């Protein structure tokens, strides 16, 4: 079987983001906002952000996309209050257990 370069369809992150539930992008914004809230992002803090992104992404079924969106959001992070307000709006339709699991994904990384 011969493959030509123009036959390989690789979805862009924009296409993947468009297919994902809105809560994925809003959670990425919250992660970035909280990580960047104190200003300088050390390598340790960046590692923690990627760890949280991975955990939340797994819960949402979008681990790779979540990491990409967190990195993108870190380039121009929103204010924490704004990010949380926007997340609250799109997370409202989720089941209580699902919202709780998303919030607990932050817990193992607190204070480390």
The per-residue pLDDT for range 27-71, each reduced to its tens digit, is 999 999 999 998 889 999 899 899 999 999 998 898 889 999 999
Q: By the 8 A CB rule, do 72 and 31 touch?
A: no
For residues 51 and 93, give the distance between their C-alpha atoms in angstroms, rounded to a whole number. 26
Range(s) of the domain holding residue 80: 20-109
For residues 54 and 61, give the distance between their C-alpha atoms in angstroms, rounded to a whole number. 10
Share of the chain above pLDDT 70, in %: 79
10 is a domain residue: no
For residues 68 and 64, give the distance between their C-alpha atoms in angstroms, rounded to a whole number. 6
79 is a domain residue: yes
pLDDT at position 26: 93
6 is a domain residue: no
pLDDT at position 12: 64
7 is a domain residue: no
Q: By the 8 A CB rule, do 41 and 74 touch?
A: yes
Q: Mean pLDDT for the chain?
A: 84
List of residues 6+ apart from 65 with CB closer than 8 A: 13, 16, 17, 20, 24, 57
């Amino acid at each position: 079987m011969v493959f030509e370069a123009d036959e390989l369809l690789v979805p862009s992150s924009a296409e993947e983001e468009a297919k994902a539930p809105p809560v994925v992008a809003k959670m990425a914004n919250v992660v970035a906002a909280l990580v960047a809230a104190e200003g300088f992002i050390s390598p340790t803090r960046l590692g923690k952000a990627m760890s949280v992104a991975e955990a939340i992404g797994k819960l949402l079924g979008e681990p790779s996309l979540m990491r990409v969106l967190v990195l993108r959001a870190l380039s121009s992070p929103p204010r924490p209050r704004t990010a949380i307000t926007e997340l609250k709006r799109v997370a409202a339709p989720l089941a209580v257990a699902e919202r709780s699991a998303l919030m607990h994904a932050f817990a193992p990384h607190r204070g480390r």
